[in-house]
Amino acid sequence: MRMRVLTPGHDLVTDTLIMHGIVRVLAYMGIYDAVVERRGERYIVEFDGWAGKLDKTDLARQILLDAEVYRETRRPVGLLHKINEANINLAVFDNWVSDLSQALLDADLGELSEGHREKFEEGRSRSKKLVTLHITLSPLYGRYRQREYSIEEGIQYKVCNTCFSLANIGFMYGAAALIVRRGADKDVILMSPAPADKIDAMDILLLQRLTETYKTIERVGGMPLLAAPLYWLSTGETLYVTDADLELVVWRVAKSGNFQRALDAATLNLRRLMEFVADVKYVLDGWPHAAGRLVTEAPEVLALLTEYVLYGGDLYAVARSLAASCGGKPCVDEASLLVKILAKLW
Ligand SMILES: [Zn+2]
């Protein structure tokens, strides 16, 4: 039986997470023959088979076990660890875990049809039946607007158990995280691949091997948004390259003192970035190590590189800042190889 589900249309970030969650859950149900199609900020997933409630899957059982361990020990283990690490609102984590346990028991892929969001009255709401979608999972609350929230204020954005479960699963598997710590403050950059058009679910699952990870670094200075994707792709596993057009949805949340903020978001050409990193890794064995050094010492250089790869610009300025970030001759030699690759792009 051909079945078709549709993400609800919360916003591009949440829907992309939900799409990743759907694909992952289908895989746990043994359904790999599926196609994902982008429709604006939403996704249609079509597959062969019958998919209903999530609670019988090994994936849900594993998360429920992890939640049980957390309840007893207060230690966020297993799949909860990434959520805890990227979370900027410490006060909500206990509720987050218990909400997720409850939601998983009720979540049902069959609920995701046209008109879902309206039917469940999801959105800014005081409803007790819905679950708060925390800022990490939905930083936008609209389209690419910069806003600032104090932790106590505002009516929360709430969703149903199915959306909450899938957004969390999508976050665990489909969003790479770079967490920059500064004492008790946190700056978290999140990145999730999104097909621009149509893609096989298998391709999404392969991409999830790159996105199920997260990295935490300590750094006093700022982290430009555009430094994170290049760092993540450069230090990740060997790249998988697909013919499908891919975008990368990037968003950032930060905790500074008592404030949590959704700072900025962007959609980048992921395929172009992946192809560049594959070329660089082919020529420069030491590139993953160099990218790891740059992200703490000079992330602005990574951001400049990304900007050039995506949009072109002043190659001389990029070359100069690359050379300036170098300590010795081997690095200068590598930098000039890198500039040769860049010169072919535009
Ligand atoms: Zn929902």
Ligand 1 center to 316 CA (angstroms): 49
pLDDT digits over 82-128, tens only?
999 999 988 899 999 999 999 999 999 999 999 999 999 998 888 88
Q: Give me ligand 1 centre to Cα 167, in Å.
A: 10
Domain for residue 19, yes or no? yes
The whole-angstrom separation of Cα 246 and Cα 270 is 5
Same-domain pairing of 87 and 236:
no
Token pair for residue 50? 């019958």
Residues of the chain above pLDDT 90, percent: 78
Q: Which long-range contacts (CB under 8 A, 24 or more apart) does 315-318 make?
A: 315/339, 315/342, 315/343, 315/346, 318/342
pLDDT at 342: 96
289 Cα–ligand 1 center, Å: 42
- Asked whether residue 6 falls in the same domain as residue 123, the answer is yes
Q: What per-residue confidence (pLDDT) applies to 65?
A: 97
- 279 pLDDT tier (thresholds 50, 70, 90): very high
Q: From the CA of 339, how far away is ligand 1's center (Å)?
A: 47
145, pLDDT greater than 90: no
Average pLDDT over residues 272-299: 94
Which band of pLDDT confidence, cut at 50, 70 and 90, is reported for residue 140?
low
> What's the 121 CA to ligand 1 centre distance in angstroms?
9
Are residues 305 and 182 located together in one domain of the fold? yes
CA of 159 to the centre of ligand 1 (A): 5
336 shares a domain with 224:
yes
Question: Which string of DSSP letters, residue by residue, matches 114-174?
Answer: TTHHHHTT-EE---SSSEE--TTT---SSSS--EEEESS-SPPEEE-HHHHHHHHHHHHHH
Q: Domain range spanning residue 261?
A: 176-194+213-346
Give 294 Cα–ligand 1 centroid separation in angstroms: 41
**Distance in Å, CA 247 to ligand 1 centroid:** 24
| Ligand 1 centre distance from Cα of residue 74 (Å) | 28
Residue 187 alpha carbon to ligand 1 centre in Å: 28
List pLDDT tens digits, range 10-58: 999 999 999 999 999 999 999 999 999 999 999 999 999 888 999 999 9
Question: Residues near 315 by Cβ (< 8 Å), separated by ≥ 6?
Answer: 308, 339, 342, 343, 346
Sorting pLDDT into bands at 50, 70 and 90, what band is 144?
A: very low
* 118 Cα to the center of ligand 1, angstroms: 9
184 and 134, same structural domain? no
- Among residues 146, 174, 202, the one where a domain terminates is 174
